[in-house]
Structure 1
Amino acid sequence: MKAEILPSQLTYFLSEELYLLKADQDFYSQPTLRVENLTTEPPANAAPIETPAPVFKYKGSNQKNFLILTHYPNTEFISEAHLAALTSTLGRLNFMPEDTAIVNINHYPTHTWSELFDYFKPQKLMILGKAALPNGMPALPINEITETADGYRVLYTFGFDEMMGQKENTKIFWNQIKTL
C-alpha cells in the first residue's frame, strides 16, 4: 500500500516556505483518486482496440479449400521426400498442389484451431501426425474421416515419418484419404 502525503504534512519535512503553482494547486484540491471510482469501460469516444488477424505462411494456393497440417521442426512446410509422396497421393485423387494449403504447425505454436479455420475456411482438412494437431482442436479419432457440424471433413492420420517404409500404415492412410 502506498502512503499519501498531504500538503499540510509537508511542513514536518520541509522547513522552508513552499509556493505551489496554479496547476499544482488544482491538482491538490481535487478529491483523492480511489480504485473503486475507476471503471474498466473504455471512454465512449475511444476507438476499439483491434487485434491484427493472424497471417499464416503456407505452400499451395488453397484453391479447393483443402488444408493440410504438418509438423516439421527443421523445414519450412514439409520435407522433400514427404512432399513427393503427398503430391503423388493427391495426384491419384485429382488434386493438384495448388488445390491445397500446407501449413507447418511447428511455426505457429500459439495459434489456435479457430484462427486456422477462420483464415483458411477449409472444406477438407488433413492432419498429418499427432504433433500437427493445432491448439484447441476438438478430439478426433485417428485414421477415421470425421464430418464436423460446420460441414467440413477431417482426416487425422499418421505423419509421413510413420508411414514411410511402413506398408500397414500406408495402406490405412490410403484407404482413408481416397474417401476424403
Structure 2
Amino acid sequence: MNNQLTSNAEALRLFFTEDIYLVKSNEQMPLVEPVTLKVEQATNEVISLPKEILLTDVADEVVNLIVEEPKPEIKKVFDFKYLGKNQKNILILVNDKENEVSTEQGRELLRKLVNAIGLTAKDFALLNYANYTNALYDDLFSFFTSELILAFGVDAKQLGIAESPLHQLAQHGKSRIVFTTNLHDLDADQASKKVLWTSLQQIK
C-alpha cells in the first residue's frame, strides 16, 4: 500500500507555497568506491594433513637436511721397508718389537724353513709387522701382490680377515696364508713345528 496522501500535482502546489532554491556548494563530496564484501560460509570441517607432510615427518626431513655429509675416508698409504726382492710374490711377516727380524734362535729357524722349501732372499719379501701394526691384508696385498704369506706372530684378526687354524695352509682372496706363532717361541715348540712343516710341504 502507498502511504503518500496524494500524488496530484495541483494539490501538491497548495501545500508547498514557498519558493525552493537550489544552492550550489564549492565542496565536492568525496567519491566513495563501492566495497564488495565476500562472505564465506564458515565450516567446521576438520582438515587432515596427508601422511607425507605430518609435522613429525617434516621435522625428520629438516634434521636430515642439516646433517653434515660424511667426509671421504682418506686411504692409508704405506711405504713398507722390507728385506728381499719379492720376485716370487711371497711375503714373510714377523712381529718383533725388539729385533729387526727375531732373536738369534728365531732367525736360525727361519733360515732352515726357507731353505727347506727351496727359497732364496730374491724370492720373498721379509717385513717386520711390528712397524706397521695398522696395516691390513688389503694394504699388504696391494703393495706386495702376495700369492703366499707366511705370518710368524701375526694373526688373522690383525690383518682384518677371517680366522684360520694355526700352522695350516688357508686361502684368502688371491693369497695362500699360513698363520703361526712368532719365530722365537716356535723354535722351542716341536709339536707346532711338525704341523707347520707338513703344511709347508704343500707349497713346494
Is the structural similarity TM-score above 0.5?
Answer: yes
Aligned partners of 2:141, 2:78: CA distance in 1, in Å? Answer: 11
Q: 1:132 to 1:140 in 2, by over 3 A?
A: closer
Q: 1:71 — aligned with what?
A: 95
TM-score in terms of structure 1 length: 0.65
What does 1:121-140 correspond to in 2, within 5 Å?
A: 121-130=145-154, 134-140=158-164
Could you tell me whether the CA contact under 8 Å between 1:59 and 1:101 is conserved in 2?
yes
Q: 1:162 — aligned with what?
A: 185
Could you tell me whether the CA contact under 8 Å between 2:152 and 2:183 is conserved in 1?
yes
Identify which of 90, 111, 114 aligns with 2:135. 111
Could you tell me whether the CA contact under 8 Å between 2:83 and 2:127 is conserved in 1?
yes
Q: Which one has a bigger Cα radius of gyration?
A: 2
CA deviation profile, 1:18-64 (whole Å, cap 9, x unmatched): xxxxxxxxxxxxxxxxxx6898599xxxxx99857311111111111
Sequence identity percentage:
22
User: Would you identify which runs of 4 or more consecutive aligned residues in structure 1 move more than 4 Å?
Assistant: 36-42, 48-52, 130-133
CA deviation profile, 1:135-169 (whole Å, cap 9, x unmatched): 3132222122112342x211112322222233222
TM-score in terms of structure 2 length: 0.58
Aligned partners of 2:68, 2:156: CA distance in 1, in Å? Answer: 42
Q: 1:51 to 1:155 in 2, by over 3 A?
A: closer
What does 1:138-153 correspond to in 2, within 5 Å?
A: 138-150=162-174, 152-153=175-176
Q: 1:12 — aligned with what?
A: none
Q: Which runs of 5+ in 1 are unaligned?
A: 1-35, 43-47
Q: 2:118 — aligned with what?
A: 94
Where 2:100 maps in the other structure, the secondary structure is coil
Q: Is 1:54 the counterpart of 2:60 in the alignment?
A: no
Question: 2:148 corresponds to which letter in structure 1?
Answer: K
Question: 1:172 corresponds to which letter in structure 2?
Answer: V
Aligned partners of 1:168, 1:78: CA distance in 2, in Å? Answer: 20
Could you tell me whether the CA contact under 8 Å between 2:92 and 2:124 is conserved in 1?
yes
Identify which of 90, 106, 110 aligns with 1:82. 106
Question: 1:96 corresponds to which letter in structure 2?
Answer: T
Q: How many pairs are equivalent?
A: 139
Aligned partners of 2:173, 2:159: CA distance in 1, in Å? Answer: 19
Aligned partners of 1:79, 1:132: CA distance in 2, in Å? Answer: 23
Where 1:75 maps in the other structure, the secondary structure is coil
Aligned partners of 1:130, 1:148: CA distance in 2, in Å? Answer: 15
Aligned partners of 1:106, 1:132: CA distance in 2, in Å? Answer: 15
Q: 2:195 — aligned with what?
A: 172
